[in-house]
Structure 1
Amino acid sequence: MHTRKFATSCLVMGKRSIKADKNCKAQTSTETLNKAQVSPFQSVSDGSILVAVHLKPGAKFDEIIEVGEASVSISVKSAPVEGQANSALLALLAEVTGAKKSRVLLKSGHKSRDKVVSISGVSLSEVESRFMSSSSK
């Protein structure tokens, strides 16, 4: 059994920046998974999907590089300065999944390359298939 612990803080992507959501309470959720079911995509009880991401800022293109066993590798053109790479990541994920930008939230990893992103308003199977079709590997 693997246990993943996601510390959640609530950030919302606006038109030009990421800001704290005043209505959201920070919480910690623990997901227990069987070893065979480890995936970068996890469904949460509130209906949202958590995606484990490894971000590579400063790349030539914004793209999903690979969907791995534990995380999705994504590159963005933006530099990791003042949240620019995080904003680019959230915009790319909203575009790929077809979710509204306000439904894509950075849950953890604000200053790390390894991040957890929450996506609401789309199903787990839909998110998985869109990531697989958008992946370059």
Structure 2
Amino acid sequence: MTPAKKTSKDTKPAEVAPKSSPASSPAAVKLTANGSIAISIHAKPNAKESSIAGLSDAAVEVQISAPPKDGEANSELVRFMADILGLKKSQVALDKGSKSREKVVLLDGDCGLTPAEVVVRLKKQCGDE
């Protein structure tokens, strides 16, 4: 009986993300409590050009064509994510990880996208359809 309680506790936080389609939405793209979409990013600065290198459950690997100096890579990441997702730069913000390769980017709740749609657009960019 007690293992069932542990399972129910484990599923409560995960219930937020599966509202879009659980099979197509990796854990790297989540719906937050306030309606925003959080994307976990593993950034690779100093790349030849900005691109999506891969998409896993842990994070979206993004190659950034800017050096990690004076916030240049962070600005390029926000610009690039807005561009590939078809959003305005004002709808995309760096939430965590300004000085780390592990970052979290937030999309406004009123951006008109679901986590599943974000995953589809990211997969199109990395060729994993």
TM-score category of the 2 structures, normalised to the smaller one: 0.7 to 0.9
Is 1:111 equivalent to 2:99 in the alignment?
A: yes
Larger CA Rg, structure 1 vs 2 = 2
Correspondence for 1:123: 114
Runs of 4+ in 1 over 4 A off after TM superposition: none
Correspondence for 1:102: 90
Which letter maps to 1:83? Answer: G
Which letter maps to 1:54? Answer: H
More strand by share: 1
CA contact (8 A) 1:61 1:75 kept: yes
Root-mean-square deviation (CA, aligned residues, Å) is 2.0
Where does 1:45-124 land on structure 2 (aligned, <5 Å)?
Answer: 45-120=33-108, 121=111, 122-124=113-115
How many residue pairs were aligned?
Answer: 107
CA contact (8 A) 1:65 1:136 kept: no
Structure 1 alignment gaps of length 5 or more: 2-30
Is 1:33 equivalent to 2:14 in the alignment?
A: yes
More helix by share: 2
Query: How far, CA to CA, are the matches of 2:118 and 2:44 in structure 1?
Result: 21
Offset at residue 126 of structure 1 (A): 1.4
Provide the TM-score with structure 1 as the length reference: 0.72
Query: How far, CA to CA, are the matches of 1:48 and 1:56 in structure 2?
Result: 24
Correspondence for 1:28: none
Q: 2:123 aligns with which of 115, 132, 135?
A: 132
CA contact (8 A) 1:103 1:119 kept: yes
Query: How far, CA to CA, are the matches of 1:47 and 1:98 in structure 2?
Result: 18
CA contact (8 A) 1:63 1:74 kept: yes
